[in-house]
A and B are shown apart, each in its own frame.
Chain A
């Protein structure tokens, strides 16, 4: 089952919409609550990353009986050093973004901790695609 959500860069008031919707669907499907929690945390972080860093993006969620595959494609600056971004506490978020309580680092490591599989494709100056897989 496919879901698709558009995300606008800088629109923090809408950040979390996709994760809330996916959460609702997973609950209705009777997926174990600890798994749902991991999905929601990973997706929310990834969603906020697009809002905080990219210009715009699309989230695709594919729910199957064995698990969920999330693909987050954004048009944005890309990640110059993925290894560094995976380190806890590292953040390139602007001051304004941090003021709002977002961008304290932790984004990518937190996603990785909650995902069964995570892959990052990024092109500096073009954008980033995140693929997150979580098994039920």
Chain B
């Protein structure tokens, strides 16, 4: 077995040496893409949507963000950092934004820009788009939601709005500015400070055949530590940084729940949190929710304030965003220039569904296997304990018919077999060791 496995879009990796096979990740995966075997977490990369729920719960940090190496920024003469509102909301309100900007400059960036600067133009474009599109339009803002729809709700892919999210528009704007001032492409790097695992995946492998102007992504959790350490140590400021902090109150609130839908015309709804999102999409897919124009759907509870790489309590982060939004005007002075030079409308290919082949590509065989799995499910205990290394009894039944697990993996059935004398104690121990690793059953007396 390889010592590292990566997720579908390579936003995350599982480092086996650190993984203790605790199964926490397996329990939270919204697509049931994780299993435990030989005491380590293993991933069905095809089923992964790079949402980062597993990263959030990993107690040993064995699941790591595959962000770009920070040092790469120095390959460029002009180093732009696109900073989202939630980054500033990670700090206590008493730390002035100016101080944070200066530290970012001291850490190596030559220019800093607010990600949500493009939101004001985007809102206009969404309202325009809604006049002609298929309803309800699902916002393209949250990349984890887009990927969830591709994998679990393929019939809804055509409802995903074909407009770029704010980060891409802002990146476009700064790229164009460099181009206009005659700077060579190799001389500037546009980096995105991300609170989100799925955004890393979105930049690395965007959907819809679009190429991002973003050079690299910086992990917000990692960068927060760097900035906060510099702040605590009172690192002297020796460099200067160009600040493009223009933001409207709409922009500041955009990444929080309701911040998008409240600016869109018609009947709109805002849904946040993975479980809520799945429940809602089920209803939507059944056509049980008619007459909705626009849906803001975000995978994280409290939207980006609860982002996977946002370390501060989500409610405090959201509160900070609200507070800051009252301090900025309703419009900023770059809006007109954005309107003139940038657009969320790009030629995008159709977003393709990514079907999860559960049983077999051949439907005849798939039906046979599904029937076997249904029979198995009736004899499994139904308590979803996870002791077999699969997240639920249903998942185990599916694994068994796919020949990826054995019926003996179930601790309940195994107890029955043991009672009947059909399986030896040695064998039951061996099965547990195969799933959870030998070391777990080798507690030497201290």
Contacts and interface: CB of A to CB of B under 8 A. Distances in A.
Interface of A: 1, 16, 19-20, 23, 25, 27-31, 33-34, 36-37, 40-41, 44, 63-65, 136
Nearest to B290: A101
Interface stretch (B4-12, B102-110, B352-360): B352-360
B57 to A, nearest CB: 25
Contacts of B403: none
Residue from B152, B287, B364 whose CB has the most chain A CB atoms within 10 Å: B287
A124 to B, nearest CB: 30
B287 A65 contact: no
B288 A31 contact: no
A50 to B, nearest CB: 16
A44 B364 contact: no
30 contacts: A1-B367, A1-B371, A1-B374, A16-B286, A16-B288, A19-B286, A20-B282, A20-B286, A23-B285, A23-B286, A28-B356, A28-B366, A28-B370, A29-B359, A29-B370, A30-B358, A30-B361, A30-B366, A33-B154, A33-B155, A33-B157, A34-B155, A36-B155, A37-B285, A40-B287, A44-B287, A64-B367, A65-B363, A65-B367, A136-B363
B286 A41 contact: yes
Contacts of A63: 367
Contacts of B371: 1
Contacts of B370: 1, 25, 28-29
Contacts of B353: 33
Given A16-B288, A20-B286, A41-B286, A29 B155 contact: no
Give 9 nearest A-B pairs by CB, closest first: A33-B155, A28-B358, A33-B154, A65-B364, A65-B363, A37-B155, A29-B366, A1-B371, A40-B286
Nearest to A45: B287
A44 B358 contact: no
Nearest to B357: A30
Nearest to A35: B155
Interface string B376-415: 0000000000000000000000000000000000000000
Contacts of A16: 286, 288
Nearest to B355: A30
A129 to B, nearest CB: 23
Interface residues of B, number: 24
A9 B157 CA distance: 34
B283 to A, nearest CB: 8
A65 B360 CA distance: 12
Interface of B: 152, 154-155, 157, 282, 285-288, 353, 355-361, 363-364, 366-367, 370-371, 374
A21 to B, nearest CB: 11
B337 to A, nearest CB: 42
Contacts of A20: 282, 286
Nearest to B358: A28
A7 B152 CA distance: 27
Contacts of B355: 30
A53 B374 CA distance: 32
Nearest to B157: A33
Contacts of A34: 155
Nearest to A29: B366
Contact of B367 (A29, A36, A44): A29
A71 B370 CA distance: 21
A136 to B, nearest CB: 7
A27 B361 CA distance: 12
A47 B24 CA distance: 38
Contacts of A33: 154-155, 157, 353
A83 to B, nearest CB: 25
A44 B363 CA distance: 24
Given A27-B154, A33-B353, A44-B286, 16 more contacts: A1-B370, A16-B286, A16-B288, A19-B286, A27-B356, A28-B370, A29-B358, A30-B359, A30-B363, A30-B366, A33-B154, A34-B155, A37-B155, A40-B285, A40-B287, A65-B364
Residue from A31, A33, A63 whose CB has the most chain B CB atoms within 10 Å: A33
Nearest to A34: B155
Residue from A16, A27, A44, A136 whose CB has the most chain B CB atoms within 10 Å: A27
Nearest to A38: B155
B152 to A, nearest CB: 8
B372 to A, nearest CB: 10
A8 to B, nearest CB: 19
B403 to A, nearest CB: 17
Contacts of B363: 29-31, 65, 136
A28 B398 CA distance: 10
A33 B153 CA distance: 8
A37 B152 CA distance: 13
A29 B356 CA distance: 9
Contacts of B360: 30
Contacts of B154: 27, 33
Contacts of A37: 155, 285, 287
